[in-house]
Every structure is written in structure tokens, then in C-alpha cells.
Amino acid sequence: MTRSVRSGIRPEDPSYLCECVVAFQITFPLANTVSCVAAVMLTGLVWSADGPWDVRKALSSPLLAGSKDRGRRSGFFYILDHFSAHYNQLSLFNDTIKKMEKEKSTAVHAAQHLCDLQEKLLERKAALFMGLKVKSILATQERPQVEVFKQSVHTFYEGCISYLQEWSSSFTDMKCFSWTLLEDPPGWDVVESCLRCVSSKLPNIHINETELFDEVTSVKTYTSDKTGLWDRDIKPADERWAEIFTHFKHQHVPFKNVAVICQFAMCLPGTNASVERIFSLMNNTWTNERNRLGLDTLKALLITRVNFDGCSEFHARLVDNHSLLKKIHSNMKYS
């Protein structure tokens, strides 16, 4: 792996990256593949003065082998400079990836998670956070080595922050839609900024600003007593809005304008993980043995599988829907 650039690691030999990931997995058996890949990529964000580094050589150093005199070995500072601090930060990146790739994760969620990650990295950079274990090892080193390592940690944080700022710029417009997650009752100021964004992106969609203000007031009134209950039940944003719109529909409260903004915010996926899940479900359903399956039937099966957690939830939905049960028992299903 050659010296990396600030925008990320670019190995000349892709197979070497795979070898590095395997090496991390052997050394750290509790780490999953995503963590190991992230570790290899994150270590490449640091520029060091000693030229290209070798992950396989670093992983065989006395530090990881548990040698008693590891503080005196030349390989100690080699691995400490290039891995130990980054492994302390690895859980931060790994947790963010898991949050972004959850089901029902939208671009609004992704923008929020990336913003939170940048804020945490800025705080760690300001405090030069490196973990107690690393500090205890640094206490046995000479001052020049400690200063070099601290500069390396600072460079690591700068590289991560600049990398995130560069590649998360496409989520900038989605930050104003954070109120649609309904973590707090919405205010008109944040909704107005969303209205400006939606109007610029969808000029053919007309939203009545006066009606929208009254609808947002209704949403704010309804959510003021609900956010605590929703947070306790860990109810996702789409189910919160479904509850609001169902209530408004029964009470004849208008919501057509605020629904347009919600549809715009909720329809944009944060990552392609949800799309990949659909393709996996489609491949499991549309097999060689069922190659004559119609597209409409396939679509209905996928919608059912994606939107229901299991058979019990689907059964509960059917039991209360008498009109749908009547259609199922009729000949309409064959048409």
C-alpha cells in the first residue's frame, strides 16, 4: 500500500487491501468485516514522515504480540503511530455506518448522523482525544516521540473532518429537513427554510404558504404531548407521521401541504443499503423455479415483505380489513 493522500487511501494493488483486512480480523477476532475495512481505510488518512507503512508488519509488532519490553522495540511506535489511536476512534465511525444503513433510513437521517459525527470529531480534535490506554503507553516514551505522535493524532482528526466535509456536501440541503424526524415539536422558521428548498427543487409543485402555517401549528400542537411517548417506544419518524395524518384525517384537519414536504424528505434514501435489500428480496422471490411470476405479483410480494415485520403483523392487518378479506375470497385475485 503506497503513501495515502488526504482524500483517502488509494492502494495500487487492490488485493493488498484484502490482505490487510484479513490481518486485522486475525488480530482482532471480535471485530466485524466492516470494522476491519474501516480501520484500514482510516489509517490511510494519516500522513507520516517515515514514508509508506506496512499493515502486516505493524500487526506482527511486539505491541500486539504482548511482549513485556514492547516499549523498547522499534516496532512499538510504528504500530502505535499508525493504528492504536485510530482503533480507539473506530467504534465512532462503525456506529455511524450502522445508523446510516438501518432500515427506513432516509437522507435526512444520513445528514443528521454525518453532522453528529463531524461535531464529535471536532470535539475530539480540540481535546486531542486518544484514549487512556494510548496515554499510558506514551508515558513510557521520550518527549520527542510523544510530540510526533500527538501531531499524528491531530493530523488524523483533520484528515477525517476534511474528508467528511468534502464527501457529505451533497447532504447539506437535507439538514433543514431535520424537523421532519419529529424529535421535537416543529417551529415555523425551520419549516419555512424547507419550503424554500422544496420550491426550488420542485418548481411545479404548489404549496400554499398560509395553509402550511396553519397545518404546522396543528402538527406542533399534536406533537407537544407525544414526543416523550414516541421516544420511549423508539417509534420511527414515518410511523409518527402516519399517526399524525391518521388522526388529522379522522378529525378532518387539513394536512395536504405539510404532507408534500414530508413526502419529499422521506422518499430520499440515505444510502443504497435499502435498495440492495430490495434486490436481495427480489432474487430470493423471483427464482428459477418461479420464473413465470408476473411483475405485478412480484411487486405486491416485495411491498408486503418490506412493509411488514412478519406474518403476525400481516395477519393482524388483514383481520381488521374486512373489505380486503372479501376481495381475497372473491375471484378478483385471479383477474
Higher pLDDT, 18 or 152: 152
Select from 167, 186, 214 the last residue of a domain: 167
Instruction: Dump pLDDT digits (tens) for 50-99.
Output: 444 444 444 444 434 443 444 333 444 444 444 455 566 777 888 888 88
- Does the pLDDT at position 9 exceed 80? no
Q: Where are the alpha helices (DSSP H) in the chain?
A: 14-27, 33-43, 55-59, 62-65, 74-79, 85-100, 107-127, 132-138, 143-167, 188-201, 209-223, 227-233, 237-250, 256-266, 273-285, 295-307, 311-319, 322-329
Report if residue 322 sits inside a domain: yes
The tally of domains found in the chain comes to 3
* 36 confidence band (pLDDT: 50, 70, 90): low
Q: What is the pLDDT of residue 327?
A: 80
Asked if residue 262 and residue 136 are part of one domain, the reply reads no
Report if residue 6 sits inside a domain: no
Asked if residue 280 and residue 216 are part of one domain, the reply reads no
Q: What is the pLDDT of residue 58?
A: 45
Report if residue 8 sits inside a domain: no
Query: What's the distance, CA 252 to chain centroid?
Result: 37
- Furthest-apart CA atoms within the chain: distance in Å: 84
Select from 167, 199, 218 the last residue of a domain: 167
Asked if residue 163 and residue 18 are part of one domain, the reply reads yes
Residues in a beta bridge with 106: 269
Q: From 21, 86, 88, 32, select the one nearest 55 (Cα to Cα).
A: 21
Q: What is the pLDDT of residue 180?
A: 93
Is residue 97 within 8 Å of 103, Cβ to Cβ?
no
Asked if residue 136 and residue 29 are part of one domain, the reply reads yes
Asked if residue 187 and residue 306 are part of one domain, the reply reads no
Q: From 234, 208, 219, 217, select the one nearest 180 (Cα to Cα).
A: 219
Instruction: Dump pLDDT digits (tens) for 240-265.
Output: 999 999 999 999 999 999 999 999 98
Q: Which residue range forms the structural domain that includes residue 146?
A: 14-167
Q: What is the pLDDT of residue 81?
A: 45
Asked if residue 85 and residue 34 are part of one domain, the reply reads yes
Select from 209, 237, 266 the last residue of a domain: 266
Asked if residue 201 and residue 150 are part of one domain, the reply reads no
Report if residue 1 sits inside a domain: no
SS3 (DSSP) at 225: coil
SS3 (DSSP) at 53: coil
- Does the pLDDT at position 107 exceed 50? yes
* 212 confidence band (pLDDT: 50, 70, 90): very high
Rounded to an integer, what distance in angstroms lies between the CA atom of residue 237 and that of residue 240?
A: 5
Rounded to an integer, what distance in angstroms lies between the CA atom of residue 294 and that of residue 299?
A: 9
Grid cell of 89 as nine digits: 476512534
Asked if residue 217 and residue 123 are part of one domain, the reply reads no
Asked if residue 56 and residue 140 are part of one domain, the reply reads yes
Report if residue 141 sits inside a domain: yes
- Does the pLDDT at position 289 exceed 90? no
* 16 confidence band (pLDDT: 50, 70, 90): low
Higher pLDDT, 297 or 19: 297
Q: What is the pLDDT of residue 45?
A: 41
Calculate the alpha carbon distances from 195 to 45, 84, 185, 205, 208 in Å: 38, 46, 17, 11, 10
SS3 (DSSP) at 320: coil
Q: From 155, 96, 84, 147, select the one nearest 120 (Cα to Cα).
A: 96
Q: Can you tell me the mean pLDDT for 178-185?
A: 92
Report if residue 71 sits inside a domain: yes
Asked if residue 254 and residue 160 are part of one domain, the reply reads no
Asked if residue 291 and residue 257 are part of one domain, the reply reads no
Q: What is the pLDDT of residue 51?
A: 40
Grid cell of 129 as nine digits: 482525544
Portion of the chain with pLDDT greater than 90, in percent = 24
Q: What is the pLDDT of residue 248?
A: 95
Rounded to an integer, what distance in angstroms lies between the CA atom of residue 156 and that of residue 136?
A: 20
Q: What is the pLDDT of residue 15?
A: 55
Asked if residue 163 and residue 20 are part of one domain, the reply reads yes
Is residue 190 within 8 Å of 225, Cβ to Cβ?
no
Q: What is the pLDDT of residue 192?
A: 93
* 10 confidence band (pLDDT: 50, 70, 90): very low
pTM: 0.66
Rounded to an integer, what distance in angstroms lies between the CA atom of residue 288 and that of residue 76?
A: 55
Query: What's the distance, CA 168 to chain centroid?
Result: 12
Report if residue 2 sits inside a domain: no
Instruction: Using only the alpha carbons of the chain, give its radius of gyration.
Output: 26
Region of 184 on the Ramachandran plot (φ > 0 left; ψ -120 to 50 alpha; else beta)? beta
Report if residue 175 sits inside a domain: yes
